[in-house]
Structure 1
Amino acid sequence: MLDRTLAPHFGAIEHIKLVEPGHIKLPNGCNLYYFNSGEQDLVRIEWVFGNLRFNPAKPLLNSAVVTMLTEGTSKLSASQIADQIDFYGAFLQSEFGYDNSIVTLYSLSKHLGSTLPVIKDMVTDSVFPESELETYVRNQQQKLQVSLQKNDVVARRTFNKAMNGDSLYGLAADAADYQQLQREDMLVHFKQMFQPSNCTIFLAGKIDDSILKLITDAFGDSWANGEEAADTTQPEISSADEHFYYIEKPDAIQSAIRIGSRIINRNHPDFPALQVLNTILGGYFGSRLMANIREDKGYTYGIGSGMTSLKHCGSIFIATEVGADVCKDALSEIEKEINRLKTELVPQEELDLVRNYMLGSLLGSLENVFSHADKFKNVYFSGLDYSYYDRYTNVIKAVTPQDILDLANKYLDFDKMYKVIVGKY
């Protein structure tokens, strides 16, 4: 009989085994990485394109071109694209990101012969019909108008703009920017961006030679590069001199707070240990910010800190919405928690808890072959390899309270952080 008075045995995580990808370099310069695992005849294919150099005069070209890929080609209308994908029980989306943009297809293996031609048509022959562009502009302006009523949205936009200036990372579009979109500009942008030399394909699922042949036949020799190579360089990021922003909303019940600064990205050797520091501060439900500002003070329903790792920079930030009457007190408590990490050693018991949480979260995130592909993409686009995860786990297991204190003093300076408050202060 099972003795339920005894806790189940657990052991330390020593090594995390990741699925190694296969690699094919297509003649047109496109790289294909494939991850073969799983029992279901389902595949996920991602076509990842580097975003073109940001042009502040035409700030929405990248995002509009990517978002409107499904709106029609010279052969297929938007409804025909949607109907053909739906008919085969597949799922398709195009998604804009800060560094790269992704076209994703989930499809049963047996239907790839019917769904792949739709994607091929989209990435080679999108035409951005004028009527669809007008609808897109109108819808986006309406969404923006609604979003700008939310304090947290305004805070995030203001924070990103202050920290990243007139770069793609700092983009805070207004209604007039959508009016600038011209079909001719989008077609030129599309032809330069969506070509094989600027594309990496990630294939994950139950894969055999026939599936690889379908992909390589569709996106190999028959997909040619254009005359002009994709320019994916980006302007140097220039941050604002002003570090405090207060946008008053006299009738606000809650105030949105966003605090943070630019820091290192995943390429830097300090990054894994800094993630431990961030987790202690506000990276999980048992964090210090949650314990103080939510559980003890009751100023907010939720508060957290996070880190981003982008191609050209990284950032650490704290975000919350608090009662308007306690905004100053909440800001003071956030500063106190940051300074406490810089002056007091983290208790070993707390560090061990965070250590186990982070290692367990990493292991738990590898639930299927798609997750393994995602982990590979993280390091691939940072110019790293799988040895990063070995170093990550080793650093988490070895980091000491003194290391955390040293990192806090090196990277966390409340006075130099960007602070945005939207509401009442």
Structure 2
Amino acid sequence: MTRTAEEIGRTALGPRPLPPLGDQRVAADIASVDTVLSNGLRVIVVHQPTVPMVELRLRIPFAGTDPLHSARAEVLAATLLTGTARRDRVGIDTDLALVGADLTAAVDPERLGISGNALATGFDTLLDVLTDALTAATYADDEVLRERARLVERITVARSQPGTIAREALQKQRYGDHPFTREMPDAADVETVSPEEVRELHRAAVLPRGSVLVVVGDVGLDAAVRQIEAATAGWSAAASAVELPDLPDVTGGELLLVHRPGAVQSQLRMSAQAVSRTDPRYAALQLANLAFGGFFSSRLVENIREDKGYTYHARSALEFTPSGATLLIDTDTASEVTAAALLEIRYELGRLGLVPPSSSEVDTVREYAIGSLLISTSSQSGLASQLGALAALGLGVDWLVDHPRRLAEVTAAEVADAALEFFAPSHYTGVIVGDAGKLEALRALGGVLMP
């Protein structure tokens, strides 16, 4: 007779007890090399032969102060891989497909990123196509005009979305007119970008010095460095890639209500200053954030989602910036419960400092943090992406391997200190996007700048 899962999980005395968690395994030493080539390109290679593939992540600092820089950069990223002096768009796609490879480019206010992968036997081809684009991208007029039109359409649609409106408003509330806020250009600015402007931006800003290339996969360390050195020999310049200027610290203050007529939902975005991965308080802050709103069983989710039903999704996360990090709380609620949700968020922020996470809470989020890190770095793709993000801070494999130990050593008292230091409600600023006429109850709470 076949038993159901429910029957298997129970005894005559009740549910079977869950087995205890095993010891959390810490990542073993990772075979790697971290070096700087003669052209100034930093190269990190990790030998991880779990599958016969190779993952590649290239980060080029790509800041600019010109108000039109973000528009030109978006068009550049969209057309970088559409043709070179040796290959047209079809030629690029064909050469990559023959070795099971893929390359994509994306840009933000901080960097131009190129990601790719290939069969390990096609690593030479992947490098050749990459460096061909870096040194000889043509940005043909017809390709630029075609991709520009597509970008205008996508940006126009995106800018009508409440999440995009909230994100842009939050960035300006936190950082004013700093170039870091220009995450999405205006469609009208993109329409003015010419092919020659894109070509000039490539010549001036796509530079190896100060950039980082991460390679993870079934490759030999020294052999891969030699391959990269040979492939990038023609990519050189005396100047360095341009980093963003430091951001001002986020200071607490009023939330700004952004009026969106007719909206039936509100977008709440709240932010406070945090510390970067290199700060000795970072591990404790990471665990405090998880306890507050960083995973599904957190205090914030239990309160405004599970108990009150104000939202389907709520979270708190660390956002890393060029010079540090911030805490971000985001959730969307129906207009009629927006004020109540804000009240509960402030309550949970205060409670985290006054009633800090218990030892059992800390143990739970510690297991989650270590397990999530190990899972995210168990694949070639995940490890490459993690290292690419760390490289921006000058960090590498050693930091990643050692972080589970730092998390394991954090005490409940240190988490309590982090909760009190970083989660005080007065430290937060932010925005609420919604129909002001439906949000009059916010006046009673105070701390919200109404239109």
TM-score, length of structure 2 as denominator length: 0.84
| 1:265 aligned partner | 276
Cα shift at 1:386: 4.6
Quick check: 335-344 or 209-218, which moved more?
209-218
- Maintained 8 Å contact 2:178/2:247: yes
Q: Distance in 2 between matches of 1:210 and 1:415?
A: 54
After the TM superposition, which residues 16-415 of structure 1 pair with which residues of structure 2 at under 5 Å, given as runs?
A: 16-171=27-182, 172-208=184-220, 213-220=226-233, 223-226=234-237, 228-238=238-248, 243-389=254-400, 392-415=403-426
Asked whether the equivalents of residues 81 and 133 of structure 2 are also in contact (C-alpha less than 8 Å), the reply is yes
CA–CA separation in structure 2 for the residues paired with 1:406 and 1:50? 35
Contact 1:21 1:33 in 2 (8 A): yes
How many corresponding residue pairs? Answer: 420
**What residue in structure 1 maps to residue 434 of structure 2?**
423
Kindly state the Cα deviation for residue 246 of structure 1 after the two structures are TM-superposed: 1.6
Kindly indicate whether the alpha-carbon contact (under 8 Å) linking 2:77 and 2:105 is maintained by their aligned counterparts in 1: yes
Query: 1:42 Cα deviation (Å)?
Result: 1.5
Task: Report percent identity of matched pairs.
Answer: 23
Change (3 A) 1:114 1:49: same
1:285: Cα distance to partner? 0.4
Q: CA RMSD in A?
A: 2.7
* 3-state DSSP of counterpart to 2:209: helix
2:75·2:148 contact (CA, 8 Å) conserved in 1?
no
Q: Distance in 2 between matches of 1:6 and 1:330?
A: 36
Q: 1:54 to 1:292 in 2, by over 3 A?
A: same
Cα distance in 1, alignment partners of residues 289 and 172 from structure 2:
22
Distance 1:299 1:407, change over 3 A: same
Is the 8 Å Cα contact of residues 120 and 217 (structure 2) preserved in structure 1?
A: no
| Contact 1:52 1:62 (8 Å CA) reproduced | no
Q: Matched residues in 1 for 2:401 and 2:236: separation? A: 37
Deviation of 1:318 after TM superposition, in Å, equals: 0.6
Letter matched to residue 235 of structure 1: P
Q: Which amino acid aligns with 2:215?
A: L
> What does the per-residue CA deviation read over 1:43-65, in whole Å, with 9 as the maximum and x for residues that have no partner?
12233212244333533333332
For 2:356 and 2:410, locate their aligned partners in 1 and report how far apart those are by CA, in whole Å. Answer: 12
Seen in structure 2, the aligned counterparts of structure 1 residues 239 and 187 have a Cα distance that, compared at 3 Å, is: farther
In 2, the alpha carbon distance for the partners of 1:219 and 1:253 equals 53
The SS at the match of 1:196 is coil
Give, as a single letter, the amino acid of the residue that structure 1 aligns with 2:357: V
Deviates more, 1:284-293 or 1:52-61: 52-61
Partners of 1:46 and 1:103 within 8 A in 2? yes
> How far apart are residue 24 of structure 1 and its match?
4.8
Instruction: Please tell me whether the aligned partners of residues 180 and 244 of structure 2 are also in contact (alpha carbons under 8 angstroms).
Output: no
Question: Could you report, residue by residue, the CA deviation over 1:267-313 in whole angstroms, capped at 9, with x for unpaired residues?
Answer: 22211111111101110000111100000010111100100122223
Deviation at 1:361, TM superposition (A): 1.5
Displacement of 1:40: 3.2
Inter-partner Cα distance in structure 2 for 1:236 and 1:88: 41
> Secondary structure at 1:76's aligned position in 2?
coil
- Counterpart of 2:332 in 1: which secondary structure? strand
CA contact (8 A) 1:69 1:126 kept: yes
Q: How far apart, in 2, do the equivalents of 1:322 and 1:245 lie?
A: 16
- In the alignment, is the contact (CA less than 8 A) between 2:59 and 2:212 conserved in 1? yes
Change (3 A) 1:375 1:137: closer
Letter in 1 for 2:40: G
Alignment of 1:10-21 (within 5 A): 10-13=21-24, 15-21=26-32
Tell me, yes or no, if the aligned pair for 2:212 and 2:391 is still in contact at 8 Å.
Answer: no
**2-structure distance, mates of 1:203, 1:41:** 13
The 8 Å contact of residues 282 and 290 in structure 1, kept in 2 or not, is answered as yes
Greater shift in the superposed pair: 241-250 or 404-413: 241-250
Cα gap change, 1:413 to 1:60, in 2 (>3 Å): farther
- Describe the shift of the 1:37–1:282 C-alpha distance in structure 2 as closer, same or farther (beyond 3 A): same
Q: 1:306-335, CA deviations, whole angstroms, 9 ceiling, x for partnerless residues? A: 001222231111111111111111111100
The amino acid of 1:237's aligned partner reads L
